[in-house]
Structure 1
């Protein structure tokens, strides 16, 4: 029988919650399955009242993590979340190793550190837990993160070695043959620069904006509502729901706008856009300058809105500049460390170490 890998997601999972962490977790476990492992995911139940009630009832009569569903080729075990119950699931599945996708969840981290099971901690957060500085003697862990920016944050609290393993982005999922004329925005949440996005769109009514997706679990947030109401008033804004196939929006985009106001751990959408040859105009927060590289324009988050508009207009008015930046975007996406084969080998090397091979 093939060995098992259990991936731990510290919040909801696909299809109920779709974000960079969840997609990365799915792609990682599916890769291990392709390599002959059996894969499973443990996650919180969907963040709704009835889902939590259903999970609590199931836990009472069938035990923790008794609700399951299938995503692609792996089983997903959900619970209303009690990190102590992870021991039950680990003992049940007996995996060769764990992959814990980390996003600021100290109670979960504390439990896994205490268990000291062979674990790849894959860090997706700009805030690194101080628990990583107090690891048990002879621990059975390895560490990875999505960017050099996060690696530097980690090294401030721990002396443990850590690899930069970028998300697996198969080029065929993002490459396009033609592009459009819209300024594309993915998720206009206030943390992603939603208010600035609305202001830019208001000030350049002659440009079309295609604004896609958003975090479903924040729809009742008053700041989110305020941004959405501001966007709704603008005739040059087309608002659409989340899409699974990014080519459907990249083919309509002239550039990608990412004025994030918080430090991004990687900036997955930017990396995807580069593959499509879509130039990125992004803020200087977190790993965005590193991810965008030569494939776009970085603007200081404190720069006036006029600076953002100037850079966007240059991409429309200077065709030679746009063509050069598009070519640089593709070249940046083709760096060795961003290639799927390179990233997959990194994962395999860690898997062999953790499973004692």
Structure 2
């Protein structure tokens, strides 16, 4: 019996070897959260795995040097594709050979590539890599019939797609609506006070200035980004909040997204206060737009397989913007945007994405402490 792709570009033979190999594919999809990178070659990816980012279930013969050269050529092609399409370098590969009669100890293995020979199923129980990295594989039943495998593999792929969809489409947008209202309200109140001179200007209470810090108005380290005197900048900011910002809030959730925004505001304004020579810093919401970019970069790192093309467009666009700022802008504009970009990425790592593998909690806590120390140091430098 043959199982063909709809395109009929390749055929998988119903053999004991292929059945065994596809059962291994099923295990990595089912228990290790890998996804199919290339089904024809049985290449799987999990770019966030602690040990191996690429698992290659290699069922082609490995019986001589020619076969080894063919495999190494394929690995080079995969590495080039990872660099070009996903900006991935030095990924770790695990080659799981199911049709091999060679002694790997006598083969010059490339850097970041490990081979295991499981041609004999008994090796699944004795191999050190399997026991250390994939201990569940030793007890996993590899007895799914060839006829049932396509259905089960497809079901796992669909379940993974639904999981990704649930991560990217939370129905949460409250924070962005509130931000938009606050920005518009601050501008309208400022405009109103400029018309009726007997009403105090709200900007004197919410804009970050050295005078306000001397008065211990430390809340201006947060509210500074809510006021902008330029109507055009406000319109652009609102557009990005209601498009890009809402998308990020759906990914992170309202509470985590609010944490990212508040920490970034505090970090960006404290850096400005420390290193800018101005007495007032009315930067508006524009730097926080770069927080969106930093947060999205973190999302791409976790889910680069799905967002690599979007990342390229954002990367090139921001390189252009940074060039324009260097040419046309001043130092505090560059400082605030760079600080917001870095803070957006760092704070996104700290709060994490729900249901995603965000890294070691200890590392995230250390990052939070480091950001807090930078904020306190910046404020103390600015006060001197």
Q: Larger C-alpha radius of gyration, 1 or 2?
A: 2
TM-score, normalising length from structure 2?
A: 0.22
Q: Whose helix proportion is higher, 1 or 2?
A: 2
Per the normalisation by structure 1, the TM-score is 0.23
Q: Pick the structure with more strand per residue.
A: 1
